[in-house]
Amino acid sequence: MTKYINPFIFKKKRGNMATTFFIIFSILDFILQCAAAVFSYQIYSFHRLSKAWLAVPIGFGLLALRRALSFLQGTGYLQNSVLSPILESVFIPFIISLLLVIGIWAMYNSFQKFSLTEQEVSEKIATFKKQRKAKKRR
């Protein structure tokens, strides 16, 4: 189990540059994770094929929430951990991984069905065209 290392403890040793990079990349990471959650929800709302697809935006949302809590703890806004270390480092990542696997698996199954349906439609169109040509020859 990895222990969370507060990058702000290095402020005295490394100067403000490490702290500035931590803040910038933490904010960018949070924004990108929120964007991933929004985009994955838009994909779900466009198709609405399976409720299991909702697991992906929920997983990305939890990633963003986890990152925001980590950032707030690192900056000192949350002095006492809101979540216990085991919950924060084991349980939430497990739930995120589980949600992402469920959502991606549901998408995979849906896309397989699309492929089979496309193949069946293509075969029926080819058969229909052959029948039409045979009727025209008569």
pLDDT digits (tens, 9 = 90+) for 102-138: 988 888 887 777 777 777 778 888 888 888 777 777 6
Confidence of residue 1 (pLDDT cuts 50, 70, 90): very low
Residue 23 structure tokens: 């803040």
Whether residue 74 is contained in a domain is answered as: yes
Query: What is the predicted pLDDT for the residue at 5?
Result: 53
Smallest CA-to-CA distance from 110 within 55, 38, 58, 48 is with 48
The span from the first CA to the last CA of the chain, in angstroms, equals 77
Q: pTM score, two decimals? A: 0.62
Number of domains in the chain: 1
Query: What is the predicted pLDDT for the residue at 3?
Result: 53
Whether residue 129 is contained in a domain is answered as: no
Full residue range of the structural domain in which residue 18 is found? 7-104
- 94-98: long-range pairs with CB below 8 Å, 24+: 95/59, 95/62, 96/59, 96/62, 96/63, 96/66, 97/59
102: CB partners within 8 A, 6+ apart: 52, 55
Above 70 in pLDDT, residue 33?
yes
Whether residue 79 is contained in a domain is answered as: yes
